[in-house]
Chains A and B, each alone.
Chain A
């Protein structure tokens, strides 16, 4: 007994330090990777960014003519608008569906149905984005033509539906975790006060789980902003300020994906694509920052 105790007392500090070291290494390396990626992207674009690019034109002009022989223009405004509008529309579709499904799965459905649901949602999450793009290109295209009597179905709406279908599984699974994390005692207490199931949901569960639900929505949005393949295939990929859901658009990500293969390395056009990369980086950074601040604000409120 005595020996045992001595042994473990001697061992404990070593294993503790080893684990601590490992965890610290993981943490530091992830920071290094992020900085490394940012550094690489920045280096590729920096030359032109500081010397030659008209930043005002880049951010405000809708003329994206990188390959024109006599009138080269690098105006990314339409691409920025394209990215944001397709994402916002996608969120308008995905958030009600995602949160609704999460509430249904965690609060209203039988355990058996819940298992089936979870499998389906995991399946949805596992579909590669190029397959979604393909569905957008064929099925959804024809559907939109038929329903809206539109000339072409490859539109912002099409891309948004594809993005929504891709982010719904993320939103559902994170939101469901957040709802499941609310202690059952809250549900029981509220029900003992005569609340109906639905009153329990919107008076107790939603306020209690709001941080997790917000995180679910923001991660869904981040997925949409970063998505490339599906929007490239489904949105018409045409530089345009959209006038409505049936306009075609082009996004920042799709532009990089479509053009990077055709430019000469080090070329102006090549560098502009990397500047778009920097812009995307900045956007996601700002979104994450806002998310952090919002969540912190909520914490302080409560």
Chain B
């Protein structure tokens, strides 16, 4: 693995992953990966199916704990603090926004979907919640379409709208880190473009981990890109280098150019 970091101005690591190994039972899903994520960057994470991308995100927000036979070794630090030692796991999860591949509209109204996390965090005041709901729906480019019907069920929106609703929801607790897992899988190209624009503006406020099955999406958005393959981190570098004619690894070149396998 070759790391070739530049990007001098924003070198504060917000996440430090060191020798991370994840087993599902006997199966090794992440085989000892190490890398840093810097403040306010978009880190693209690409790689074919089964390469451990989703597993990585689940380690970071500690939802892998719900998988009974999963074991984690190595360390993940968030702002210098080892996440496995954080006792307020619910608070930790609220520092991280998570967007799933298929939109999961909770069986609640649009308003309640976005107000869910603030409420669980203890915010009760209606006016405060109103402000949060509007801000997040604005940020997710959904406000104009739903402002007249905030009390209808979130699941009655179209697929693309629902995905933007889950993004609004992920932003509702003002996370430091936004993780998106193949968000465009069930979204039409136009909506995908709109969401990409949203991500570009969010970059100034937070750090974004963008797992994507579309390598061009990483090329369009990411400052740096990491290429995962079968649980190994093959290469992580600036997006320019990963998508250039000569990345450090041949496998990276093959995958990015679609001649893989």
Contacts and interface: CB of A to CB of B under 8 A. Distances in A.
Interface residues of B, number: 27
B120 A207 contact: no
A204 B109 CA distance: 11
Contact of A190 (B106, B172, B173): B106
A302 B116 contact: no
A302 B153 contact: yes
Contacts, number: 64
B209 to A, nearest CB: 13
Interface in B121-174: 121, 153, 166, 169-170, 172-173
B34 to A, nearest CB: 25
B106 A204 contact: yes
B40 interface: no
Contacts of A187: 66
Contact of A186 (B104, B119, B121, B173): B104
Contacts of A199: 120
A194 B100 contact: no
Interface stretch (B3-11, B14-22, B89-97): B89-97
B93 A194 contact: yes
A116 interface: no
Interface in B100-121: 100, 102, 104, 106-108, 116-117, 119-121
Contact of B63 (A188, A196, A203): A188
Secondary structure of the A contact surface, majority rule? helix
A161 B186 CA distance: 52
Contact of A208 (B98, B102, B107): B107
B169 A193 contact: yes
A227 B208 CA distance: 61
Interface in A199-215: 199, 203-204, 207-208
Residue of B91, B108, B172 with highest tally of chain A CB at under 10 A: B108
Given A185-B100, A189-B100, A194 B120 contact: yes
A64 to B, nearest CB: 49
Contacts of A278: none
